[in-house]
Structure 1
């Protein structure tokens, strides 16, 4: 599937570079486009902010080649304590005895510990002077890798995700080892408890049957889309966010934020998703029974795009669990860690989180600890 960037995406990217001062080269790497492409977007926006980016435009051939190269590299990469305080255990492993002595040398005389544990002082001092063992070197390397992955995840990943990322990079490591090293380094995920919100479904508009019926699986991208609305607090008031997720890739294919929770909010998200993905088959569109999704305008748009409607049962939050889970993650990993002064600031941060981190960098357990973009690209390679 050839990647397309719509007008809104380009404008938001340029504004983020201008307002946050992010280096163009860094943004280009994160998006998987060339520096020249971003410089062209910036130049076009500066010349005419109102009429910039007419038409969507595909990635250039050299950028597609670069993405293909990244896919192949990732596939090759994926293919290709203090000792127990027991004399009986220690005496089986001389290196553990020396380690025990070294750790407790400020509490007891070295000579006495060597005598009691039946090892020579010369052997202990020789042990202290020898080169760092391969095990220690590996542990030091793991510490560096874990720290890097943790920081790249915005200090959000816990040991399960970091262990999976390390395995994808060819490291044989257990989750327990990662947990211990993270504790040693003082690395702790900064996510907070999730938030639960409900949607008002008290209306007389027609609703669809629950076709999805909690079957949260798809065989390909653009088979099942799930839609929902959440809200974000700012000092100016609420910012409402409508999102659409592809069930197969867990990618947020469309989203829109506004100060009012209206049918226009969800229509903008749907239009963006259809414009970006251009699904060829019939998409099953699942949402709750909110009046925005049940509105005549929204239902007409589904018909226009050739989509089949499906709605959750009344009062059953589990029927739309995947997209609600995304909004929970959005709040745990961004909203509750920030304090937004304005709606514009919140919208900019949400754009950066979804487009730069969630879709392109954040691994997802439901898709084999790939990112949504990787999952989509791998399907395209096989299909």
Structure 2
């Protein structure tokens, strides 16, 4: 370069490479181009170059300091960012900070005038309510169910807002359902016809019940079994019984408990899989004696009894996998408590997020 200072002089003065000086001069076009004209024009261009370089160095320093000090702020709430701007606007500049945080000047001035104080107080109260619901339901409530729980307290928010509050702001996540193992099909055979054909919508209560078994492996190496009956009308649990044996007696005991609870309804269809317990001589005779019509899924097709599969998925992930049971008596007692929570507290998507009992007696 021509003029009072050469490229080498400028590079040495500002402790930068000569390549950087040349690149900046080229990048900013005519302002950094020097022509061999009069000494007056050369002096003006040199001064412009120095001012431009000084500005770029200041911007570079800001970027370095900002990266070191603001990483945690991008994960925090807006109030923390506002306080950071208050403390550092003298060095960085107000507009520069707002631009890098993605905040409008109007929002910042509203903060200074206290216009958002009431909003922040209301949001903090919602945060506390969300945490109360989350931890009092064994951390099994996701953002969809949380919307229903909040509406019971008169708090009406969109799913998107609740999802942001829970996952981003409060770091609260619901139970992740475990993947089920694949089913191995076997030779197709029929005991009773499938009367449902995957039509699980029922208009009246106590017309179609579904039943199935599940196992619960214990820490002592033993296994306890559960048999449950649900009503397809509202997905409510009619009966749920635990036992150390998975046999016909357990299936009959569960069905008998359900019949007593609902006072022996007439014209009932009981749908199950083709398990030997449901196809046994004693169980078939018990159903005939009480005027119950049996229906069965195709062998190896869990979709034919999808509501029961879905119930046991919730049962395992929201209850059984979350606790350690010292003995069988405690497991049986807590199973009853879970069924009560499932029927009376947990919102169900099939009932448009009413609880099963709310749908049953509405």
Q: Shared fold by TM > 0.5?
A: yes
Question: Which runs of structure 2 are paired with 1:53-202 in the superposition (5 Å)?
Answer: 101-109=82-90, 112-113=93-94, 127-128=111-112, 130=114, 132-183=116-167, 184-196=169-181
Check the 8 A contact 1:287/1:320 in 2, yes or no. Answer: yes
Could you tell me which runs of 5 or more consecutive residues in structure 2 were left unpaired when the two chains were aligned: 1-77, 100-104
Question: Which runs of structure 2 are paired with 1:1-383 in the superposition (5 Å)?
Answer: 101-109=82-90, 112-113=93-94, 127-128=111-112, 130=114, 132-183=116-167, 184-196=169-181, 207-236=191-220, 237-355=222-340, 357-378=341-362
Distance (whole Å) between structure 2 residues aligned to residue 182 and residue 288 of structure 1: 39
Cα offset for 1:188?
Answer: 1.6
Over 3 Å counting, the alpha-carbon distance change for 1:136 and 1:306 in structure 2 is same
Over 3 Å counting, the alpha-carbon distance change for 1:274 and 1:126 in structure 2 is closer
Structure having the higher Rg: 2
What TM-score results when the alignment is normalised by the length of structure 1? 0.65
Distance (whole Å) between structure 2 residues aligned to residue 315 and residue 187 of structure 1: 37
What TM-score results when the alignment is normalised by the length of structure 2? 0.68
Over 3 Å counting, the alpha-carbon distance change for 1:127 and 1:195 in structure 2 is closer
Over 3 Å counting, the alpha-carbon distance change for 1:114 and 1:240 in structure 2 is same
- What CA RMSD, in Å, does the superposition of the two structures yield over aligned residues? 3.2
Check the 8 A contact 1:155/1:190 in 2, yes or no. Answer: yes
Distance (whole Å) between structure 2 residues aligned to residue 313 and residue 229 of structure 1: 16
Distance (whole Å) between structure 2 residues aligned to residue 263 and residue 199 of structure 1: 24
Residues 14-53 of structure 1 deviation map (CA, whole Å, 9 limit, x = unaligned): xxxxxxxxxxxxxxxxxxxxxxxxxxxxxxxxxxxxxxxx
Could you tell me which runs of 5 or more consecutive residues in structure 1 were left unpaired when the two chains were aligned: 1-96, 379-383
Distance (whole Å) between structure 2 residues aligned to residue 151 and residue 271 of structure 1: 36
Q: Which contiguous aligned blocks of 4+ residues in structure 1 show a shift greater than 4 angstroms?
A: 97-101, 114-118, 123-127, 196-204
Over 3 Å counting, the alpha-carbon distance change for 1:124 and 1:347 in structure 2 is closer
Distance (whole Å) between structure 1 residues aligned to residue 180 and residue 110 of structure 2: 57
Higher RCO (C-alpha 8 Å, min separation 6): 1
The farther-off stretch of 104-113 and 182-191 is 104-113
Distance (whole Å) between structure 2 residues aligned to residue 278 and residue 197 of structure 1: 38
Distance (whole Å) between structure 2 residues aligned to residue 116 and residue 327 of structure 1: 53
Distance (whole Å) between structure 2 residues aligned to residue 279 and residue 188 of structure 1: 42
Residues 97-147 of structure 1 deviation map (CA, whole Å, 9 limit, x = unaligned): 9996534345543783169879xx9x9789446365343233223212222
The aligned length equals 277
